[in-house]
Amino acid sequence: AAADGLGSIAIDTTQLNMSVTDPTAWATAMNNLGMVPVGLAGQQLVTDSICVPGFDPSLSMMTGITPINPMIPGMGLVPPPPPTDVPVVKEIIHCKSCTLFPPNPNLPPPSTRERPPGCKTVFVGGLPENATEEIIQEVFEQCGDITAIRKSKKNFCHIRFAEEFMVDKAIYLSGYRMRLGSSTDKKDSGRLHVDFAQARDDFYEWECKQRMLAREERHRRKMEEDRLRPPSPPAIMHYSEHEAALLAEKLKDDSKFSEAITVLLTWIERGEVNRRSANQFYSMVQSANSHVRRLMNEKAAHEQEMEQAKESFKNALTGILTQFEQIVAVFNASTRQKAWDHFSKAQRKNIDIWRKHSEELRNAHSEQLMGIRREEEMEMSDDDSGDNPSKKLRVDDSALAAQAYAIKEENDSLRWQLDAYRNEVELLKQEKGQLFRTEESLTKDQQLQFLQQTMQGMQQQLLSIQEELNNKKSELEQAKEEQTHTQAMLKVLQEQLKSAKELAEINGHDESQANEINVLTVALVNQDREKNSEKRSPGLKSEKEALLIGIISTFLHVHPFGANIEYLWSYMQQLDSRISANEIEMLLMRLPRMFKQEFTGVGATLEKRWKFCAFEGIKTI
């Protein structure tokens, strides 16, 4: 064969027959090579299970199973390697044209270079000068199918096998002395040196195999991603009258509503609504709106199920807490002297540990149950406060009404906190009656005393808040009475004015007398208002209020058209950040002779403004 004709060499695949001169030595050598020993003439040297015709290299690519390397110990093809401290004994190998003598077992094994990836080619050096390709093929064909032999003019060659595992069998022959026939000539003998060789074809095939494995891995990952990817939404059909009629029927069906509403939304976003199809779209939107009541009913049903589940959980938790109480009672009874003296030291220790653990669990469940009850009480309080909107006071008395309502809310919250503290006190009393007088009971007594003191303080706070609420209510009633009295006085004065006008017309008085009567009536009304305002306003309470009145008067004087309470509060907050809008409004309401309230605008632009009117009172006087 030519030097570069690795791919064009044809190998005779006929089986090799030979006569065995030393069956025992031949069997030992074949066993060391990992081959089936030959016992009779005409037998095959290497079985099909090891050679290429019976081995499928694409098995790993199609099934994901790693190919079996017949040189791996423990796989059944090669005997397990001997211990490292025992030298490997190699036997003589007899071939048809030559004989291979093993190396000295006491010498170190021959060295080899690092194995290249995908190596199928070996370097064979130390060949006899008279060795031919047929003899080389006869020796190394026992390791597997040979695809190419490239022999040099010197005493070495390169052999390429069909599979990678055949290279390991060829490496086994490294160190053997080869003798052609029975000749003792120096040219007919040589010591073989077999090593890994680096070939471009091997590396190219290895790269192709790696790329194929990478493609298979990418394909496998893509298939896995496609399998896990959520399905794409169905395509939305284009609008037509026929499709719109079908969609209207689907919108009426509860089971197909989700799909139909998606199509309707897509059509509207596409701009399918025009003057011609507006009525049809309106009917579909109306059908969609009809499902609101159904959804609310479903929500109410789910909320009812949730409430039932909460109730069952609370009942189960109560039962568990009762059983924990019974277990703790058993432990407490066991710790009494009547039964405690009969237990051993180890038993007492275990009972004490169990008792502490049970008490911790009991306390944790008790806190959880109390938290559930507090949440229910808070929900009930929210419902109660939302069911009584009719108790709001009129707009004229909004300041006092808002303050009274806030005090009532605070009163209710304090009452609920007081009930919660009472429940905790009752639980602590029960625990106190059940537990033995130990260090834990002393700490609980201290907690009980602290809670009692807290409860007394809250009761005092509750009484003071109730008194304040009663005072506010009395002030509110007094204000209402004064308002009714003023209205009655106004009616009386109007009647007097009307009778005076009639009398003046009868007697023939001039117009100046009627004007004097009107001025007198207005003066009486203003005097009555001043008296009522003096009764209602108790006067300034502190120097801070006087300072606020001066600043507000100056601010409103430079704003002749008035200012709303938010604008006034934003200006005052720059001077005093702690002041509130409600406090400013209460102060303005207490001084009606200095500040008056007017409504400006119409409809949505209606606005309530405060004006400075003290100078108007001086002008009238």
Which tens digits make up the pLDDT trace of 474-493? 888 888 888 888 888 888 88
Question: Chain centroid to CA 182: how far?
Answer: 84
Report which residue type is found at 399. A
Going through 126-174 in order, the beta strands assigned E by DSSP cover 146-151, 156-161
CATH of the domain at 98: 3.30.70.330
| Nearest-angstrom CA–CA distance, 163 and 613 | 112
Task: Give the pLDDT of residue 176.
Answer: 92
Number of domains the chain contains: 3
Rg (CA), the chain: 55
**Contacts for 47 with CB less than 8 Å, ≥ 6 apart:** 35, 36, 54
Task: Give the pLDDT of residue 224.
Answer: 93
Res. 11: pLDDT tops 60:
no
Res. 82: pLDDT tops 80:
no
Question: Are 123 and 190 contained in the same domain?
Answer: yes
How many other C-beta atoms can be found within 10 angstroms of the C-beta atom of residue 196? 20
| Nearest-angstrom CA–CA distance, 217 and 212 | 9
Task: Give the pLDDT of residue 397.
Answer: 55
**Residue 506, CA atoms < 13 Å, CB-side half-sphere:** 6
Res. 44: pLDDT tops 50:
no
Question: Are 138 and 189 contained in the same domain?
Answer: yes
Q: Is residue 9 domain-resident? A: no
Question: Are 265 and 172 contained in the same domain?
Answer: no
Is residue 215 very low, low, confident or very high in pLDDT (cuts 50, 70, 90)? very high
Question: Are 106 and 180 contained in the same domain?
Answer: yes
Q: Are 537 and 591 in contact (CB under 8 A)?
A: yes
Task: Give the pLDDT of residue 424.
Answer: 76
Q: Are 123 and 113 in contact (CB under 8 A)?
A: no
Res. 383: pLDDT tops 90:
no
Q: Which tokens is 399 given?
A: 């300041």
0.75 exceeded by pTM: no
More confident residue, 457 or 39: 457
Task: Give the pLDDT of residue 332.
Answer: 87
Last residue of a domain, one of 267, 288, 317: 317
Task: Give the pLDDT of residue 386.
Answer: 54
Q: What is the pLDDT of residues 443-470, one digit of tens each?
A: 777 888 888 888 888 888 888 888 888 8
- Does an H or E element contain 94, and which? strand 93-94
- Does an H or E element contain 516, and which? helix 511-536
| Residue corresponding to tokens 């507090």 | 374
Last residue of a domain, one of 317, 348, 372: 317
**Contacts for 526 with CB less than 8 Å, ≥ 6 apart:** 620
- Residues of the chain by 3-state class (helix, strand, coil), percent to 5: 60, 10, 30
Q: Are 595 and 613 in contact (CB under 8 A)?
A: yes
DSSP for residue 66: P
Choice among 183-187, 275-279, 332-336, 526-530 with the minimum mean pLDDT: 526-530
Q: What is the pLDDT of residues 98-144, one digit of tens each?
A: 999 998 888 888 889 999 999 999 999 999 988 899 999 999 999 99
Res. 74: pLDDT tops 50:
no
Q: What percent of the chain has pLDDT over 90?
A: 19
Q: Is residue 569 domain-resident? A: yes
Range among 63-67, 361-365, 421-425 rated most confident: 361-365
Q: In which region does residue 117 sit, left (phi positive, over 0), alpha (psi from -120 to 50) or beta (all else)?
A: beta
| Nearest-angstrom CA–CA distance, 38 and 46 | 9
Q: Is residue 263 domain-resident? A: yes
Q: What percent of the chain has pLDDT over 70?
A: 74
Question: Are 251 and 196 contained in the same domain?
Answer: no
Is residue 542 very low, low, confident or very high in pLDDT (cuts 50, 70, 90)? confident
Nearest residue to 562 (alpha-carbon basis) of 596, 590, 594, 587: 596
Q: What is the pLDDT of residues 560-609, one digit of tens each?
A: 888 888 888 888 888 888 888 888 888 888 888 888 888 887 766 778 88
Is residue 148 very low, low, confident or very high in pLDDT (cuts 50, 70, 90)? very high
Q: What is the pLDDT of residues 109-122, one digit of tens each?
A: 888 999 999 999 99
Q: Is residue 106 domain-resident? A: yes
Beta bridge partners of 180: 98
Res. 86: pLDDT tops 50:
yes
Question: Are 274 and 198 contained in the same domain?
Answer: no
Q: Is residue 441 domain-resident? A: no
| Nearest-angstrom CA–CA distance, 555 and 94 | 125
Is residue 526 very low, low, confident or very high in pLDDT (cuts 50, 70, 90)? low
| Nearest-angstrom CA–CA distance, 362 and 328 | 8
Q: Are 310 and 316 in contact (CB under 8 A)?
A: no
More confident residue, 380 or 260: 260
Question: Are 245 and 190 contained in the same domain?
Answer: no
Q: Is residue 286 domain-resident? A: yes
DSSP for residue 336: S
Range among 23-27, 281-285, 386-390, 534-538 rated most confident: 281-285
Last residue of a domain, one of 291, 317, 343: 317
Task: Give the pLDDT of residue 6.
Answer: 38
Question: Are 108 and 195 contained in the same domain?
Answer: yes
Q: Is residue 435 domain-resident? A: no
Task: Give the pLDDT of residue 513.
Answer: 52
Distances in Å between the Cα of 412 and the Cα atoms of 159, 373, 408, 409, 483 are: 100, 17, 6, 5, 31
Range among 68-82, 321-335, 370-384 rated most confident: 321-335
Q: Is residue 444 domain-resident? A: no
Q: Give the domain extent around 246.
A: 241-317
Task: Give the pLDDT of residue 46.
Answer: 39
